[in-house]
Amino acid sequence: QKEVEQDPGPLSVPEGAIVSLNCTYSNSAFQYFMWYRQYSRKGPELLMYTYSSGNKEDGRFTAQVDKSSKYISLFIRDSQPSDSATYLCAIKAGGTSYGKLTFGQGTILTVHP
């Protein structure tokens, strides 16, 4: 069993749709949760980071963490063609200020006009 599971998709939605991206994890030591967006042939871009359970909103993006279920989500409202990219969840255990991120496999999202 992988430490972080993410549905690779691909996911195709019409413009304006609400997109839900999800990851599950198995290690209770994970404390820091991040979502990255990666366009083709570019580096990952940090979209959201969260620590505690609950919701965090930034514009059209909402990150949700449920530590009791070991489940994290990213919601994209009013999706745009420019949101078409690969979305990676990344999780880090607590402790040191540096350390290994454990990534999901990434979900490929296409938003068509």
Residue ranges binding other proteins (CB under 8 A): 32, 34, 36, 41-46, 49, 51-52, 88, 90, 92, 96-101, 103-106
Pick between residue 76 and residue 103 the one whose CB is nearest to other proteins.
103
Q: How far is the CB of 4 from other proteins (least distance, A)?
A: 9
Pick between residue 79 and residue 86 the one whose CB is nearest to other proteins.
86
Residue 11 token pair: 């996911």
- Hey, is 1 helix, strand or coil? coil
Q: How far is the CB of 106 from other proteins (least distance, A)?
A: 6
Q: What burial class does residue 40 get, using C-beta atoms within 10 Å of its C-beta: 0-12 exposed, 13-18 middle, 19+ buried?
A: exposed
Q: How far is the CB of 43 from other proteins (least distance, A)?
A: 4
Pick between residue 73 and residue 105 the one whose CB is nearest to other proteins.
105
Closest CA to 75 of 61, 65, 91: 61
Q: How far is the CB of 30 from other proteins (least distance, A)?
A: 11
Distances 44 to 34, 71, 85 between C-alpha atoms, Å? 11, 21, 10
